[in-house]
A and B are shown apart, each in its own frame.
Chain A
Amino acid sequence: SQQGEEDPQALSIQEGENATMNCSYKTSINNLQWYRQNSGRGLVHLILIRSNEREKHSGRLRVTLDTSKKSSSLLITASRAADTASYFCATDEEAAGNKLTFGGGTRVLVKP
């Protein structure tokens, strides 16, 4: 079973627009991570937010975490064609130990 579920499953935007995707999960977590996967490649870590943090920034990325709603969002500002990729959230469950559980991903297409 998948702990994190992303929404929407797919997103198409114009270059320069912002892209927002959401992740919901079911159990208590130590942290939540976001990864990017370009077509045919491995996943690349983007950002990690701990359970006691509410917001984190990295360049054009902004991640929020609401543990009361068991949800997180990833915002990509001023998107570029190079941001076209699939984005996955991954949760580190408190009881799981050393493991991440990945969601199904959001496919983002940024049109030039």
Chain B
Amino acid sequence: NAGVTQTPKFQVLKTGQSMTLQCAQDMNHNSMYWYRQDPGMGLRLIYYSASEGTTDKGEVPNGYNVSRLNKREFSLRLESAAPSQTSVYFCASSNHRGPAYEQYFGPGTRLTVT
């Protein structure tokens, strides 16, 4: 099992450009998450999907959109990138419907917006 995979690993964008970060998990998990991590800080939740077909906003959703394409895949889109979106983005998945259980993380995407 590959676990949680993310593409790309690195990306540099100019202000105003758009891009989609891809995430896939092969553990048949119901829930998937997108976080951002700024230098020296913890993770902040951008969006999450508790099950296929549902998505909900997290703590910092502005400037982002998501798509839960199927049970395996959850993508994050930046429509018009801004320097404030320079960060490391992590996708995670978890197999629960009630109280949160452990989350499995991908390796991250380092995004720089100039």
Chain A interface size range: 20 to 34
Count of B interface residues, CB-CB < 8 Å: 30
Q: A98-B97, A99-B100, A104-B41 are in contact. List 13 more A-B contacts (CB 8 A).
A: A31-B100, A42-B107, A43-B103, A43-B105, A98-B100, A99-B33, A99-B48, A99-B58, A101-B45, A102-B35, A102-B42, A104-B40, A105-B42
- Give B contacts to A, CB under 8 Å: 4, 31, 33, 35, 40-45, 48, 50, 58-59, 90, 92, 94, 96-108
Can you pick out 25 interface pairs between chain A and chain B where the beta carbons lie within 8 Å of each other?
Answer: A4-B42, A31-B99, A41-B107, A42-B107, A43-B43, A43-B103, A45-B102, A45-B104, A88-B42, A92-B99, A97-B50, A98-B94, A98-B97, A98-B100, A99-B33, A99-B45, A99-B48, A99-B58, A100-B45, A101-B59, A102-B35, A102-B43, A102-B44, A103-B42, A104-B41
Q: List 4 tightest A-B contacts by C-beta distance, closest first.
A: A42-B105, A30-B99, A92-B100, A45-B102
